[in-house]
Amino acid sequence: MLIHKLKSKIHKATITQCHINYDGSLGLDESFMTLAGMQAYEKVLVANLSNGSRFETYLIKAKKGSGIVSLNGAAARLGAVGDRVIILAFALVDEKEAGSLKPRILIMDDDNHPRMK
């Protein structure tokens, strides 16, 4: 049996940009993606701590070291610059392997500087 388990989490990232006239996705500083073990075009669940919205989208790389967390396309209507979000990525794993999967978790400070949990 396969089950979905949390693979990666970026907790309390601050939205830095919103671009409604974009094809869609979540732009994320490439260094955040690397630390969290996330990949470009990977599906993620985004939970907005500021307004309670939750939505799925995919990741695109933003400039490494930029601190960018950008809501693009329709997702830009679900948050605003300054909102805090949780970005979650999941893996489909065999039930036998599930116990050994430990998620990579980043906790962001107020200036989008990450630290590993």
Cβ neighbours of residue 90 closer than 8 Å, sequence gap 6 or more: 4, 5, 6, 7, 45
Residue at 38 is within a domain: yes
- For residue 97, what pLDDT is reported? 86
- The domain that contains 83 carries what CATH number? 2.40.40.20
User: pLDDT confidence of 99, banded at 50, 70, 90?
Assistant: confident
Residue at 99 is within a domain: no
Residue at 39 is within a domain: yes
Query: Could you say which of 8, 22, 25, 100 is catalytic?
Result: 25
Tokens of 107: 């906790």
Residue at 98 is within a domain: no
Q: What is the mean pLDDT of residues 84-109?
A: 94
Q: Which domain holds residue 15?
A: 2-92
Total of domains in the chain: 1
Radius of gyration for the chain, computed over Cα atoms and rounded to the nearest angstrom? 14
Query: Could you say which of 22, 50, 58, 100 is catalytic?
Result: 58
pLDDT in tens, 21-76: 987 799 999 999 999 999 999 999 999 999 999 999 999 999 999 999 999 999 99
Whole-angstrom distance, CA of residue 97 vs CA of residue 76: 36
User: What is the pTM assigned to this prediction?
Assistant: 0.94
Give the type of residue at 91: A
58 catalytic per annotation: yes
- Which stretches of the chain are assigned E, i.e. beta strand? 2-14, 17-19, 25-29, 43-48, 54-62, 69-72, 84-94, 104-108, 114-116
pLDDT in tens, 7-24: 999 999 999 999 999 877
25 catalytic per annotation: yes
Largest CA distance in the chain: 44
